Chain A
C-alpha cells in the first residue's frame, strides 16, 4: 500500500506492506541509523519520533506513519553532534549501536521535561538499553548535554 509521510522534514512516498514494521520500511528505504536490536520493543535501538513522540519503530506498523512526521537521527544532525560530543567526552559511547535511538529519545526528553534530575532521566530513558557502558557515564554525558542545551 502507498503511504506518504514527512521523513526528516521531507516528503516521502513509499509502497509498504500492511504488516511491515516502520523499522523495516525505514531501513529498506536506506534510513540505516535505525537499528534492530530485539523485535519486541524492549531495547530502544529503533527509537524514532512519530509526530514528535518517541516510539519503538519495530512496534509501529509502517502504514501508521501515513500522513505523519517521522524523525530519525539523520534529521537531528546538530543534536546528534552535540550529544555525541558529550558522550565521547565521557567515554560513554562504546559500540554505538544504541546511540542513534538514544539521541532521538534524549531529544524527545529535552523537549518534554524542563529540568530532569538523574532519576527522571533514568526513568524517561528506561527503554533505551545499553549493554556496553553500564549507564553511569552515559548519564553524566546526558546531563552535560542538557546543561549545555539550556
Chain B
C-alpha cells in the first residue's frame, strides 16, 4: 500500500519484528541465553565511600565448595581505561582499572569471586576478608575542587586528548567557550536575570539489570554476550584492559531489556572475562537491582548558573551558562555530558549578541555519572527554560511569546554548532528543518493555553497552573558516529540485513528493515535482520546520541541503493539487455523484451546462471546533527496547603523529521516523557552522611507507575529533514528533556513557588510559596 509521498514501507506503523517472540517469553536476553554451566561471578563491594585496600585474604573463600577463583587488584593488568562506551580515543579520562587498590564509592568493586552457583559465589563473597584504610570522602560536589582529599592520585591515569583533566584538583574535565562579549552585553541590557539551578542524580532503572556472560569458542577466542548499547566500544575497551588484541574478542548483543544510556558503559564484561580466561569455563554476571543502584552509573547532578540579558520588549541579548557537574568516582562521560548541557540547549536561542558556556566536572565519592538519555541536555534545559520563564515573568510577557521572539528558525544557524561538538569542535550547520512554530501552535491548542490562562483556583486552596518548555537534541555526533550495513540477496528473493546498530528495545531493527524494504521496493517481511555482533555484522559506533535512525538508517539506505543497482545489472544480463534499458520495481526486473521476477533471478544467480552472491555494504559517517525539536506544555494541580503537585495533563508536539514508524516514534516520546516526569517530581538518588545509598531498590527509589502518569499526549508534526534517510531526524532522547522545566514552570504559575532544585517535592513547593503573588505572567 502506498503512503503519502509515494512510500510503501517508510511511514507505516508496522509491528516490531521481535514483538511476538518477546511477549511469549522466548529466551532472548543475556541471562536467558548464557550457557547453563556458566560460572557465577559476583563482586565483593566496598562498604566505604573512600578507602585504600590494605589486604585481601581470600583463603577462607577459596576453601568453600564450588569456588574457583578470587581476583583482587593484584591479579589484573595495571592498565588505565575508561568504561565509557565512546569513540576511539575516548573523550572520557582513562581513570580506572579492572580492579584497583582504592575504592571510591560504596559499592565499588574490591574483589571478584567466581563459583559454580550464585549461592556459592555469594557465600564466598561474605568469606573474603578485606582490610580497608578508611579515607575521608568527598561527598558534596561543591566542595570537591581543590579539596585536600584527592580521589585520583594514581600516576597511570590520563586524558586521551585535552579535556581539562586535572586529577590533583579533583577535576575530571573542564571547558569554556564564548561568542561575543557577554559581560559587556549583559552590562548594557535593560533587564538582567541571574539564577542558580540544581539537577539531581537519576537512575536509569532499565527493567533488565546489567548482565554479561563470556565463553571461549572452539578457536579459543573470548566471546562476550552483553546487555550493551555499544558492542564495538566494549570489545575495544576490553582488549585494552585485558592486554589482548581486539581480534581475540567477539562481542554480541542479544535482545536487551532497556538501556537509556545505562548500558553505554562496561560493567560485568571484564569480570566475567577474568573468570573465563582463568578457568576456561563460561561465566556470567547478573547484577542485582541493588548493584545496579550502587555500582553502575547515574545521571550527572549539576549546578547551573544562568545569566540572561534582555531588553524590555523581550529581545534576548545574552546568555551565560556556567556549570559545575558531579561525575562521582569516575569520569565516565564527564566532559561530553557537561558540554551537551550547553551545546544542545543554547542554540535554541540563536539570535543573542553574546553567549558563553563553561565550567567543570569534578570527582566525588558517589556512584559515577554516566550516559543517560538527554545526556546533559535535560539538565541544561531545566536551567535555561526555567530562567526564560522567570524572565518572562519579570518582563510581564507570555512565556510562549518570549520564546517565539527569540527562537531558532529554518534556514538559520548558531555559531555554537561549529564551536561545540562532543569533546571536540563541532561542525557548521544550517537548520534545514525546524517546525517549532507548528509544534507551539498545536501544543497551545491541545493544552488550552489561551483559554485556560496561567492559573486557576479549581477548589478552595487548590490551584491549577500551566507551564511550558521548548527543547532540541541532536541526531548523532558529527564526524564521529559511523554506521555500516550489509545486504545479502538470498535464493528466492529474501534479504539478510546485517547491521552493527544496537536495538535497545526501541524497535530500531524494525525501522532499519523498513528503510531497507522501502529502498529495495520489497516488503519489510522480506528483510531478515541480524544485528550487533562484532564478528558477523559490519561496524556501528552504537546506540547513543540519538544516532540510530539518522546515521545507521543512512547506511542501510546506501546499502539498499547499491543492491538495487546490482539487481538491475544482473536482471538485465539475464534478460539480455543493457542495464540502462531495465527497471526494477522490487518485484521484477523488466527490460524491453520481457521481465524476470526477483524470486527467479535470485535463485538463478545462486544455482543456474552466472552464479554469484549479491552482497552490498553501505557505510555512513554522520556529517551533521540536525536537531529534533519539541514544544511541551504541562498542566499541574497544586494543593496550597500541602504543596502536593499532581500532573494533570502533559502535551508534547515533536518535530523529528519524517517518522519511519510513527507508532514507534510516538512511544519513544511517551516513554521519554515518563522518565522526564519522574525526574521532575520523584526520582532522586539519595545518600546518607557517610556516602551510603539510601535509594537502592524500587521501594526507596520511585519511578513512575501507571497510576502516576496522566494521559500524556504526544503528537508528531509533519517535517522533512533533507539530510536524513527519507527525511528522518532522531526521536530517542528529545522526549525526556522538557518535563523538569515545564512542570516547574507550571508549579510557579499555579502557586508562585519557583523550585530551582529538582525534584519538585511538596516541601520545596511549600517553602517556595512564601507570600502569595499576584501575577505569574
Contacts and interface: CB of A to CB of B under 8 A. Distances in A.
Interface stretch (B38-46, B157-165, B335-343, B500-508): B500-508
B207 interface: yes
A136 B24 contact: no
Given A33-B25, A97-B29, A103-B23, A137 B663 contact: yes
Given A91-B661, A136-B670, A122 B23 contact: no
Contact of A132 (B29, B258, B663, B699): B258
Interface stretch (A34-42, A59-67, A109-117): A34-42
Interface in A78-126: 80-81, 83-85, 87-100, 103, 122-123, 125-126
B664 to A, nearest CB: 5
B698 A43 contact: yes
A33 B289 CA distance: 19
A71 interface: no
A33 to B, nearest CB: 2
B15 interface: yes
Nearest to B697: A40
B20 A91 contact: no
A4 B114 CA distance: 32
A97 B257 contact: yes
Contacts of B23: 73, 80-81, 83-84, 87-88, 93, 96, 99-100, 103
A135 B674 CA distance: 8
Contacts of B675: 131
Central interface residue in B32, B667, B698, B703, by most chain A CB within 10 Å: B667
Interface in B27-50: 27-29, 31-32
Interface stretch (B72-80, B583-591, B628-636, B705-713): B705-713
Contact of A74 (B25, B290, B666, B707): B25
Contacts of A85: 15, 19-20
A39 B204 CA distance: 17
Interface in A38-53: 38-40, 42-43, 45
A43 B207 contact: yes
B240 interface: no
Contacts of B31: 36
B444 to A, nearest CB: 21
A95 B699 contact: no
Nearest to A31: B25
Given A135-B709, A136-B670, A136-B709, A37 B25 contact: no
A134 B208 contact: no
A98 B671 CA distance: 14
Contacts of A22: none
Contacts of A34: 25
A80 B25 contact: yes
A131 B258 CA distance: 8
A127 B119 CA distance: 28
B237 interface: no
Contacts of B16: 88, 91, 93
Contacts of B133: none
Interface in A121-148: 122-123, 125-139
B19 A134 contact: no
A119 B227 CA distance: 35
Contacts of B22: 84, 93, 95-96, 99
Interface of B: 13, 15-16, 18-20, 22-29, 31-32, 119, 204-209, 255-258, 260, 286, 288-290, 504-507, 661, 663-664, 666-667, 670-675, 697-699, 703-707, 709, 711-712
Interface of A: 17, 32-40, 42-43, 45, 72-74, 77, 80-81, 83-85, 87-100, 103, 122-123, 125-139
30 contacts: A17-B119, A36-B31, A37-B208, A37-B289, A74-B25, A80-B24, A85-B19, A87-B19, A87-B23, A91-B664, A94-B667, A95-B504, A96-B18, A97-B505, A99-B25, A100-B24, A122-B706, A123-B707, A126-B705, A129-B703, A131-B207, A131-B671, A131-B675, A132-B505, A132-B667, A133-B667, A133-B674, A134-B670, A134-B672, A137-B667
